[in-house]
A and B are shown apart, each in its own frame.
Chain A
Amino acid sequence: MVTTSDTGPVQVEIFPGRFLMPETAQRLLNEIYMTGGVKRIMIQGPNLPRAVPYGPARGTPIEENRDLLIEVGDQALELRVKVGRIRLELEGEEDIPKVQAACERALPFSFSLKRGRFFRDVSTITDYAKYGRVIEDKRILGLIDPKAKKERDMAILSELDE
């Protein structure tokens, strides 16, 4: 659904009172996706490594951190992080109350919704190092950290038909 809004794109951050389990994150993201006004979504949080990174047990696999799949819309992604903050770019200001309502439906605890600038729209040195000089789809800027892999950690959701 392509909407033209009166105000330009708006970026918000959802900061829940607790870390989200994969099921709760999936529920929340689907609710947000269904509101229809979302351009970009980024999930940020502490790392969940697949194997112990250092210390006496270094290399031991961590089974609990594997296969944390969430399905948003028609795409499935494996979570590499514990869901701490969710950053969204919305089509316009009128979508903010919809996102607020979606959060209230999906989250059983308190949360705060902040407005600000969280995504880059201009390519920087790390983007050049990762993607090269020519970047066709500017929406990928600032969406994943430099070490992440585009195929594994990013998904493009189809537009909602309404």
Chain B
Amino acid sequence: MAYTPQYYPGNTSVGINRRKHMSGNLEKLRDIPEADIVSIMGHRAPGADYPSTHPPLKEMGEPDCPVRQLVEPTPGAAAGDRIRYSQFADSMYFAPSIPYWRSYWGAINCRGCDPGTLSGRQIIEARERDIEAYTKTQMDSEMTDVALCSMRGCTVHGHSLRLEENGMMFDMLARSEMGADGNVYYAKDQVGIPLDKKINVGKPMSEAEAKKRTTLFRADAIPFSGTVGARKPDEALEALHHMWELRSLWGYRPE
């Protein structure tokens, strides 16, 4: 392709990370078995068949529609799967990915997904087959730090709280825990139902590494701008100001 989209302006490490997240050029940090991801999501038992809401599209026969002929259905849609979700909570203490950036990643890189962004959590809904693949990509990549990000389907409280002594994000339902070997284990699935066996998801990042990989601007780390430290406004802030100016000032036409 002749044109590669920039996705996000700015030259700080946060800007670079944001570009990485949006373009999907993420580093793979770990490899969690698919069966484990499916157990944590909790929608079906690993190895079980996918329940479906409608017969496969090929059997159903679709109306004669040019758009349907143009667009290739995702594997989940073609099979007629149910729509299921995975929801993440990311700590404000330098989690690599933050709700909006997970949503951007989903919207740009995942076909057939519906991302929802809230201040304390981010959810992606898609057909069951597809959401399992997308969740595996998220959990394996640098978007997810196992201590600072957690797959939580309910009772998500914790993103803005101080961390625990071992560096984990607070979880009222104690879904994940730090083992004695320094690895994080999921003891329950994303809604709090205990798992048959604990799932090892690997070691968390160190604080320094989390700060390097984060997409979060913070006043005490890399600020968005401001006069503290006499930092020159980042290109990102200029772009934001430009957008504001065009939309707000000129939209309201202050004559």
Contacts and interface: CB of A to CB of B under 8 A. Distances in A.
B155 A18 contact: no
A18 B165 CA distance: 6
A57 interface: yes
A17 interface: yes
Interface stretch (A19-27, A135-143, A147-155): A19-27
Interface residues of B, dominant DSSP: loop
Interface residues of B, number: 21
B172 A47 contact: yes
A122 to B, nearest CB: 32
Contacts of B164: 18-19, 21, 82
Nearest to B161: A46
Contact of B170 (A24, A54, A55, A82): A82
A52 B194 CA distance: 11
Contacts of B157: 46
A19 B163 contact: yes
- A contact patch SS: loop
Contacts of A121: none
Nearest to B157: A46
A64 B187 CA distance: 10
A2 interface: no
B161 A19 contact: yes
Interface in A92-115: 108-109
Interface string B173-193: 110010000000001100111
Given A18-B165, A19-B162, A60 B172 contact: no
B246 interface: no
Interface-centre pick from B157, B158, B162 (highest chain A CB count, 10 A): B162
Across the A-B interface, the 7 shortest Cβ-Cβ residue pairs: A55-B154, A64-B174, A57-B192, A56-B191, A52-B192, A57-B193, A57-B191
Interface of B: 153-155, 157-158, 161-165, 170, 172-174, 177, 187-188, 191-194
7 contacts: A46-B161, A55-B191, A56-B154, A57-B188, A60-B194, A84-B161, A84-B162
Given A19-B163, A55-B191, 8 more contacts: A18-B162, A19-B162, A21-B165, A24-B165, A46-B170, A54-B154, A57-B191, A84-B162
